[in-house]
Structure 1
Amino acid sequence: MAVDALVPGDSPRAGDVDLDYARSLMATRELPPILVCRRTMRVIDGMHRLTAAMLAGRREIDVHYFDGDDEEAFVQAVQANLHRGRRLSQQERSAAAHRILAAYPQWSDRAIAQAAGLSTKTVAAIRRRSSGDGPQSHIRVGRDGRARPVDAAAGRRRAAAYLRENPDASLRRIASAAGVSLGTARDVRARMQRGEDPVLRKDTGALAEPVPLAAVEAGEDLAVPMRHRVAHNDPLAVLARDPSLRFSDTGKRLLRLLDNRALVGAERDLLLAAVPRYSRAVLIAAVHQHIDVWRAFVNVLDQAS
């Protein structure tokens, strides 16, 4: 691409291009391709490389094209500057998060935190400070792309109201009408059939330690009051008490696959310490592969519901 055909982009960086840094790149024989919005020819990532090319008298530069709108391009620019080159400062990342929040108020704090390179706690604080800037969405879209209600209780009440008027409705229809997940719709229907309140009440006295799978495989009696053994909302513990899973080889295998407690707390740190730096990229790829497999498995479960 001809350098004079490119337009400076909407950078998440504060201030102008650092000429000293650009000059330090002039001696690089093969500059990595810059990222350009195909629709506008604006530079999304690589202004220092473009400046270096221009200072060196180059007429062309390698580019990768990005297809998307201006706000998508801005998020891409932030992401690109988090992991290479001159990384964004804390102040620049906070400003970027504020803009991303304004453009995508429906995104969850965790999704914005990942996009801007901040902690979820910091993004939550930014959201609280900017809550008066515009209308607030009642839905949050997480990193997995799935929409979830901000107020889960309100969604459950909508599902219950829809069920009272449409007692024969399918789970998919209930979930769509109430703006909740299939799992929530299923739980609301089951609670109403048992005559229970469709809105969950948090059990603050419960312990947060999962049932050991060794106990499951040994066939121990797990009919212990929940508050003495496990958090009320621990799905693994609920599955572990199901006899059809506890006493079958296939069920035990599924429970073992679901047991990821080693990835939490001190044991997680031990596992990470055992992975050499040169293997971490491979580990990340392997983890993403597992996530994709589980996501496909969840889709099958949803379709079978």
Structure 2
Amino acid sequence: MNGGPRTSVRELRILQPTEPAVAERQDPPPPVSVPVSLLDLTGSPRLNGIDHRHVELLREADPHALPPVLVHRPTMRVVDGVHRVHAALLRGDPMIDAIFVEGDDDELFVRSVRENIGHGLPLSLADRQAAALRMLAVRPDWSDRMIARNVGLSPRTVGALRRRHDDAPAAPGHRVGLDGRVYRLDTGHAREAVRQALARNPSASVREIARSAGISVGHAHTLRRELLGGGDTGTPVAAPPRSAAAPLARPVGQGIPVALVRTLAADPSIKLTDRGRDLLRLLATQALGPGDWSDLLAAVPSHRAEAVITLADGLATAWRQFADELRER
């Protein structure tokens, strides 16, 4: 498709869930030209097949501006870019730029879904849910967040799919998280491990507790809150007293970038509707810098800290659900 000399073919190792940080740092190899006639176009994650209107749009686009397709070299199956290949066929292009990838069928499916939610014609909600079900079948040890990240759904939706489908394989006693670490699912063991960690160091951070107990940070946060608040059947661990003058153990959240709020406020489709203005007002009240958050922390008296924590946790959950529903709309 593109002119000029080509470098030798190199393979791009598929992103492995146990090596996210390493894989993301790898630079993709330069593309090579491959004959369009040799490509296998089967195995797409799209339930309804090819979108012919999208193919027509790609046919009129500058081929040099389109990203290379991803191809499994042993089988020549297109992992990402089926619509681009169909557009090349309509134009009569004999060659197309490609990057070679490797992996088994399940790895290639994961890669295909992840690429299709990242650019080009988005996968439909039905496509993404079907992809999540397949991943639950072949990767029952992956956490809800791991699968959600790969299919473009919320962790809450993946969890509901996991519970709803009884024919899915039983999950092992652990899950692989987004960070590639393996976390135990034994709630009783995890609760006792957190209890012991708090008994040893009542002021330990959630991350320290998670690392000590071998569980995720989110799970550690939930168990720590239950144990300190007496929300379980065991003996609650007393929370350590906090001095009003004690320095913060870790930095405060960064808040919402002011520039991003200003960009939204300039959008007529938002600022000219009543509900849109309501949204902008809510976002503007939270567009704070690190120093502002520190000032707010200092303004909370110790005897009202738990009440503010409860409200802040509730608001954070509400915003998270709002973001999840927006993502799936």
> What TM-score range do you get, normalising by the shorter chain?
0.5 to 0.7
For the pair 1:75 / 2:99, whether they are aligned, the reply is no
Q: 1:21 aligns with which of 54, 59, 84?
A: 54
TM-score of the superposition, structure 2-length normalised?
A: 0.53
Q: Does 1:110 align with 2:102?
A: no
Could you tell me how far 1:72 is from its partner in structure 2?
Answer: 1.1
Q: Distance in 2 between matches of 1:91 and 1:229?
A: 50
Counterpart selection for 2:261 from 249, 252, 273? 273
* Partner Cα separation in structure 2 for residue 269 and residue 42 of structure 1: 43
Paired residues, number: 201
Listed one character per residue, the Cα deviations across residues 217-263 of structure 1 (whole Å, up to 9, x for unaligned) are: xxxxxxxx738869xxxxxxxxx97xxxx6xxxxx7xx3xx32434x
Deviation at 1:9, TM superposition (A): 3.4
Choose from 135, 140, 145 the match for 1:100.
Answer: 135
1:259 and 2:251 correspond: yes
Residues 9 and 44, structure 1, Cα contact 8 Å, conserved in 2: no
Rounded to whole Å, the distance in 2 between the matches of 1:53 and 1:24 is 12
Structure-1 separation of matches of 2:42 and 2:71 = 8
- The SS at the match of 1:226 is coil
**Structure 2 counterpart of 1:22, which letter?**
V
Deviation sequence 1:267-296 (CA, Å, 0-9, x none): 3475853789xxxxxxxxxxxxxxxxxxxx
> What percent identity do the matched residue pairs reach?
37
Closer/same/farther in 2, CA of residues 129 and 229 from structure 1, 3 Å limit: farther
Which amino acid in 1 is paired with 2:122? R
Shift, 1:33, TM fit: 0.9
Displacement of 1:136 in angstroms is 2.0
Contact 1:101-1:127 at 8 Å conserved across structures: yes
CA distance in 2 between partners of 1:205 and 1:227 (Å): 12
- CA drift at 1:130: 2.1
Going from structure 1 to structure 2, the CA distance change for 1:205 and 1:136 (only over 3 Å counts) comes to: same
Q: 2:226 aligns with which of 191, 194, 202?
A: 202
Alignment of 1:282-293 (within 5 A): none
Q: Distance in 2 between matches of 1:226 and 1:112?
A: 35
Structure 2 match to 1:162: none
In structure 1, the partner of 2:99 is 64
Structure-1 separation of matches of 2:55 and 2:225: 58
Query: For the Cα contact (< 8 Å) 1:153–1:200, is it kept in 2?
Result: no
Q: Which residue of 1 aligns with 2:74?
A: 39
**Secondary structure of 2:59 counterpart:** coil
Greater relative contact order (CA < 8 Å, ≥ 6 in sequence): 2
For residue 127 of structure 2, give the secondary structure of its aligned residue in structure 1: helix
Q: Distance in 2 between matches of 1:81 and 1:104?
A: 19
Matches of 1:107 and 1:63, distance apart in 2: 30
8 Å contact kept, 1:35–1:66? yes
CA distance in 1, matches of 2:150, 2:107: 11
Q: What is the Cα deviation at residue 155 of structure 1?
A: 5.5
CA-CA distance at 1:24 after TM superposition: 2.1
Secondary structure at 1:133 match in 2: coil
1:113 is displaced (CA, Å) by: 0.7
Contact 1:110-1:142 within 8 A present in 2 as well: yes
CA RMSD, 1 decimal: 3.5
Q: Which residue identity does 1:273 align to in structure 2?
A: V
Cross-structure match for 1:154: 189
The amino acid that maps onto 1:15 is N
SS at match of 1:203: helix
Does 2:22 correspond to 1:9? no
SS state at 2:53 partner: helix
CA distance in 2, matches of 1:273, 1:3: 46
Give the aligned partner of residue 298 of structure 2. Answer: none
For 2:212, the equivalent position in structure 1 comes to: 183
Find the aligned partners of 2:251 and 2:211 in 1 and give their Cα distance.
Answer: 23
Partner of 2:239: 226
- Asked whether the equivalents of residues 37 and 66 of structure 1 are also in contact (C-alpha less than 8 Å), the reply is yes
Alpha-carbon contact 1:138-1:150 (below 8 Å) kept: yes
Give SS of 1:62's match: strand
Cα distance, 1:81 vs structure 2:
1.1
Deviation at 1:183, TM superposition (A): 1.6
**2:273 — aligned with what?**
none
Q: Which runs of 5+ in 2 are unaligned?
A: 1-33, 194-208, 215-222, 231-237, 265-329
